[in-house]
A and B are shown apart, each in its own frame.
Chain A
Amino acid sequence: MDIVVIGGGPAGLAAAIEAKKHNVKEVMIIERDIELGGILQQCIHDGFGLHRFGKRLSGCEYAENFIEGVESEEDIIVKLKTIVIEITKDKTIYAMNEEEGMMEIHSKAIILAMGCRERTRSQVFIWGTRPSGVLTAGTVQRYINMEGYLPGKKAVILGSGDIGLIMARRMTLEGIKVEGVYEVMDSPGGLTRNISQCLKDYNIPMHLSTTVVKIHGNKKLEGVTIAQVDKDKKPIKGTEKYIECDLLVLAVGLIPENELSRQMEINIDPRTKGPIVDENFMTSIEGVFAAGNVVTVFDLVDYVSETGEIAARGAAKYLKGDLDLSSDYQDIIPGDNVNFIVPQKIRKQNLEDKLPIYFRVKQPLKKVTVVGEIEGQKCLKKKHVVVLPPEMIVEEIDCEKIKDKNEMLKISVKVG
C-alpha cells in the first residue's frame, strides 16, 4: 500500500479522499466498525459543517458527504469490521477480521486517525460504589441513538462539555428526566449555543463549581452526592446534597486514543495526549502521520477534516520524496494564556504560503489579541472579542513572515 488510513471517521475519510486527489495510487482505510463514519454515525444532532458546507448538518449527514466521496472512488480499498492490533516501527500493520484472519499489511505511509475515547469515572475519582447506571455520555448516546434503548428514568449529568449538553436535550426528548448538569469548573465546558438550546430550552439547571463526589447503590445506582468545590476543585464540606437518580451520565472529557501510537513509540505531547506533529501532521516516525481527534480533541468536525487533508497532502509529498526530512525542526510553543498548540514543530522548507495553527486558551477572556512572536518580531496579530477554552482557535501564519527566522515561534493570547 502507498497510504493506509487507520480509522474511517471524519479525519480518515477526508484524508483518503484528499490522497486520491493528489494521485496517490494505493489507498486503504481500515475501520473497526461495520460502516464508515466513525463517531459521527451516532451524532444525530445538528451543528456540523458550518465552516465547510455553510450549513448546520447532522453528524451523519456530514459523514455521508464524505462516505459518498470514498465510495465513488473505486480505488480506495475499505476494510470494515477490521481492527489494527499492532503497527511495528517499520510500518508493518497487523490487522484482523473474521473473513481474512490476521493480515500483515506493508505500507509506505500511514495516517493515524483513530479518534478519541471518553474519560471514565475512575479517572475523575468519584468515590462510592460500582453499581449499574453509571455510563459515559458517548455510551448513552450509542444506546439511545443506535440501539434504541433508554438507560434510565432520572439522570444526573456530570460535565458541561458539548456531549453532556447534547445528551441532556436528547434524553429529555426521549422522556428521561434530567435533574441537572453539574460542572466542576467555574465556567461551562460547551458552546453557548448548546447551553441555550439544550439546557435553557428545557429548564435544565446547570450548576457550576459543583461536582459529583459519591455514587450510591450496591447493584443499581440509587443516587449521587454532589458538592460545591473551592478554587482548587476540592469539595467544600457542608455543601453536600443527595440526589436520587438511576442514571449518572459522565461527560468528563475526551482523551485521544493513542494505544497504537504508544506501541510504535511515537513521541506524545503530554499536553495534548496525542502525537507531536509537524506542519504536515507527521509524527516522530517518518512516513507516519496523524489527523483528527487522535492528535488533540477538536470541537468542530470541519477542522478534523481539514487536518486529515493536511496529513494526506503531507503523505502524498512524502511518497514522492518531496518532503525535507533532515533539517532541524523549529518549535511552536504556547505562550501566555495558551494551553497547547498543534502542530508543535515545523520545518520551514515544507511550508506553503500559509500555516494553520490550532490552539486553546486556558480560561475565558474578553477583548484579546492573539500574538505570534518569532525572534522578537510579530508574525501574527489578531483581535478577538471573546475567547473560550471550549472553542478552539484557528489562525493562519503567513509563512513569508517566518521564512527567514530560525528560532522558535511563540503563540500567546494577550488581554487588550
Chain B
Amino acid sequence: MSGGSKVKNKIIKAIKKKENLAKYNIDIKISGDKIVYLKGEVDKWQDVVDIGHIVAKVKGVVNVVNDISAKGIKIVKKDNTEKIKKTIEQGKVMRTDVVIIGAGISGCAIARELSKYDLNIVVLEKNSDVAEEATKANNGNIHPGLLATPGTLKAKLNLEGNKMYTNLSKELNFEFKRPGSMYISYNKKDWRKFKALKRVKKTKVGYLIKPLRQIMRTPGLKWLTPEQVKELEPNIKGNPVGGFLMSTMGLVEPYEVCVALAENAVQNDVTFRFNTEVLDITTQDCVATGVITNESIIKCNYVINCAGIYADDIAEMAGDRFFTIHPRRGAIAIIDKSRKGFLNRPAGGSLETKKKGSHTKGGGASVTPEGNLLWGPTATEVPDKEDKSVEAADMEYITKLGRSITDEVSKSEIITFFSGLRAPDYKEDFIIGMSKKIKGFINVAGIQSPGLASAPAIAKMVGRIIIKDIGDIQIKDSYNPIRPPKVKFRNLSHEEQDELIKQNPKYGNIICRCELITEGEILDAIHSLVPATTIDAVKRRTRAGMGRCQGGFCGPRTLEILSRELGKEPTDITLKGSNSYILDRKSR
C-alpha cells in the first residue's frame, strides 16, 4: 500500500486536534483506492469509534477499515475453518443465479425486487426467521428523508423510498399510515433563528443547518402556529412557540413489512433458507463463484451482501474488505396501549439533550401504526456485535426524551423495552454497489436509519446493477406483485368477526387476550409462505405476545400450537431459534 501521504498527514493532524485522542499512536496505511487502514490500541471503545469517524471525514478518504482495539475489550473473530472443511467433505452442492446473504429489510426487499425477473434466487439467513436483527428493533418510522445529510446516498434513497411506500403497502397489504411528523419548538429565540433559515443562503454554523435549510425550502412543509400545534397534538405538554409538519413521514411495523416482502418473494419463486450461515465466499480470477454455508456449497453468479452487522465480515470473505461496521445500539420502550391516541404522529422538540455532532436522531416520542406510544431510540456505540442488551442508562435517556413532550405518561406505563444494533460504517452512509475488486459481489452495507424507509429504493438500485450487468433479462409473465391481505381479527366489526368464525371456527379461539389474536391467525402464520417456526416468529406475524402481559398468558398456548402443527416435541420449540428452548425436559 502506498502513497496518499498528503491525505495521511491530514489524517494525523485531524486526530491530533482532539485532546483526548492526541496521545495515541495510530498506525495509518492508505491504499491506492483511498481506503484507510487503522491499527493500534486505545483506552476505550468510544475512542476507537471517534478516531474512525474523524478519519472518515478527512477529505479524500473513501472509507475506513478500523482495526484499532480498545484495552480490555477482546473482539473474538469467528474461525470457520473447521466448519468449512466439514461442508466441503459432505459434498452437498447446489446451483442458483443469485444468493442474497441476510433476510432483513434490505435482503427481503431485494429478493422481492429481483423476483420479477427470470432468475433463481436464494436468500440465506443465519437466524431462524426474517427480520431477527435490526429490522425488528427499530421504531418503524418511514422518514421523510429531509433530515439526512444532503448529497449522501442515504438521503437520496430515503427520499425515493419514502414515496414508494404508499404503493408498496397497497401491493403487499401491510399496515401503513402517513400522519407526518411534527417538530415542536419551545424556545422563542431558537424558533426565530429557525424560521430565518428559510431565507439564509450562506451559513457556517452547525451540523443540522444544511438539512434544516433543505427542509425549510421543501414544498409541502407546513409551518404551524402554537395553536395549530396544540390542535394537532393536544396532549403535548407546555406552551410551544411554533412548529412544522413534515407531512411525508410514514409509520409501519417494520417486521410486518419484512415478512410481507419475503412472502411476496416466495410467491414469485424465491427460496429462503434459515439457520443457514455463510462461512465463506468462493471466487475465481476475481469473480464471485459461490458461497459455502454450514449446510452446503452454493454456486452462483451474484452474491448480494445484505448481512447488516456482519456485512464487513462477509466482504472480507469475498476478499474485498474496505469498510468496517461499528455497531451502534438503539434501545426502545413501548408504552401500554391505554395511551393509544395520546400522540397522533411522531413528534420531537427543540430538546436541550440533543448532542451536537451526534450521528443519529436521538429520538423523542413516536407512535406505531397500531397507535402505541413509543419512546427512543438511544444511540450507544458498542464493541460487541451481539450486544443487544438494554441498560439503565438507556432507560434514563429514553424516559427523558419521551417525557420532554409527553409529561403525563410515566415510566410505569412501559410494557416492554428492547434494543437493536444499527450497522453503520465510518462514513455513516450506505455502501451499495458491485465490488470493484470482485465481480458479481454486490455490497448493500452500512444500512442504518433510514434503511427501512429506503428499502424499496435500495432494492430498485440493486435491481438496476444486476440488470445492467446481465444485459438482457425479461420480467416473468408469472410475476405477481400482490400479496393477499392477512386476517386481522381485532380490526373487524363484530358482524365480520362472526362471519369469519362461522367460516373457520379456529378464528373463534382467542389465544392472545391482550391483543385479541385468534388461533386462526396463528395457524395462518405457521402455515404461511415464510412459515413461523418459533414463538417470536409467530409474534412478529400476528402480534401475539406483544401486549401488556408480554406472552404470559398466550405463551404456553402458542407453544402448544407450534408443537402440534410442526409435529415437534414441546421441548424442541424455541423462542427465537438456535438453543433458545422454552422447556428443558418432560417431568418424570
Direct A–B contact present (CB less than 8 angstroms): yes
Contacts of B499 in A (CB 8 A): 101
Does A10 touch B at the CB level, under 8 Å? Answer: no
- B391 and A127 contacting across the interface, CB-CB below 8 Å: yes
State A214–B412 Cα separation when bound (angstroms). Answer: 19
Q: Assess A142 versus B586: contact at CB under 8 Å? Given A102-B498, A122-B550, A218-B388.
A: no
Query: Which residues of chain B in 530-588 are interfacial with respect to chain A, using CB atoms and an 8 Å cutoff?
Result: 548-550, 552-553, 555-556, 560, 570-571, 574-588
**B-binding segment of A148-156, A279-287, A312-320, A353-361:** A148-156
Q: Assess A127 versus B498: contact at CB under 8 Å? Given A85-B510, A150-B586, A151-B582.
A: no
Instruction: Give the interface size class of chain B.
Output: 35 or more
**A-binding segment of B18-26, B299-307, B414-422, B521-529:** B414-422
Query: Which residues of chain A in 293-351 are interfacial with respect to chain B, using CB atoms and an 8 Å cutoff?
Result: none
Contact of B570 among A129, A136, A149, A153 (CB under 8 A): A149
Considering the complex, give the chain A residue whose CB is closest to the CB of B534. Answer: A132
State A122–B552 Cα separation when bound (angstroms). Answer: 12
**A-binding segment of B79-87, B452-460, B500-508:** B500-508
State A402–B467 Cα separation when bound (angstroms). Answer: 88
State A249–B75 Cα separation when bound (angstroms). Answer: 32
State A133–B576 Cα separation when bound (angstroms). Answer: 12
Return A220 CB to nearest CB of chain B, in Å. Answer: 5
Does A83 touch B at the CB level, under 8 Å? Answer: yes
State A128–B387 Cα separation when bound (angstroms). Answer: 9
- B587 and A174 contacting across the interface, CB-CB below 8 Å: yes
Does A123 touch B at the CB level, under 8 Å? Answer: yes
- B580 and A219 contacting across the interface, CB-CB below 8 Å: yes
Query: Which residues of chain B in 491-515 are interfacial with respect to chain A, using CB atoms and an 8 Å cutoff?
Result: 494-495, 497-499, 501-502, 505-506, 508-510, 513-514
Give the most central of A102, A125, A139: most B CB within 10 Å.
A102
Return B397 CB to nearest CB of chain A, in Å. Answer: 13
Return A386 CB to nearest CB of chain B, in Å. Answer: 31
Give the most central of A100, A130, A143, A144: most B CB within 10 Å.
A130
Q: Assess A132 versus B510: contact at CB under 8 Å? Given A94-B494, A147-B570.
A: no
Does B76 touch A at the CB level, under 8 Å? Answer: no
Considering the complex, give the chain B residue whose CB is closest to the CB of A134. Answer: B575
Contact of A262 among B338, B555, B588 (CB under 8 A): B338
Return B509 CB to nearest CB of chain A, in Å. Answer: 5
Does A240 touch B at the CB level, under 8 Å? Answer: no
- A117 and B552 contacting across the interface, CB-CB below 8 Å: yes
State A129–B386 Cα separation when bound (angstroms). Answer: 10
State A151–B585 Cα separation when bound (angstroms). Answer: 7
- A132 and B574 contacting across the interface, CB-CB below 8 Å: yes
- B586 and A219 contacting across the interface, CB-CB below 8 Å: no
Contacts of A167 in B (CB 8 A): none
Contacts of A369 in B (CB 8 A): none
- A120 and B552 contacting across the interface, CB-CB below 8 Å: yes
Contacts of A142 in B (CB 8 A): 556
Q: Assess A102 versus B575: contact at CB under 8 Å? Given A127-B392, A138-B552, A152-B584.
A: no
Contact of B556 among A101, A143, A150 (CB under 8 A): A143
- B389 and A214 contacting across the interface, CB-CB below 8 Å: yes
Contacts of A123 in B (CB 8 A): 412, 414-415
State A268–B570 Cα separation when bound (angstroms). Answer: 40
State A415–B305 Cα separation when bound (angstroms). Answer: 71
Contacts of B494 in A (CB 8 A): 86, 94, 102, 104
Contacts of B513 in A (CB 8 A): 32, 83, 259
- A96 and B497 contacting across the interface, CB-CB below 8 Å: yes
- A98 and B582 contacting across the interface, CB-CB below 8 Å: no
Interface residues of chain B, those whose CB is within 8 Å of chain A, are 338, 386, 388-392, 395, 412, 414-418, 494-495, 497-499, 501-502, 505-506, 508-510, 513-514, 516, 548-550, 552-553, 555-556, 560, 570-571, 574-588
List 9 A–B pairs whose Cβ atoms lie within 8 Å, in order of A's numbering: A98-B501, A101-B501, A120-B416, A120-B552, A123-B414, A129-B388, A153-B584, A218-B388, A219-B579
Give the 10 A-B residue pairs with the shortest CB-CB distance, closest first. A132-B575, A102-B498, A98-B508, A219-B580, A98-B505, A101-B501, A132-B580, A101-B498, A149-B583, A120-B550
Known pairs A102-B495, A120-B416, A128-B389; list 9 more (Cβ under 8 Å): A85-B510, A94-B494, A96-B498, A121-B550, A127-B395, A150-B586, A152-B584, A219-B575, A219-B580
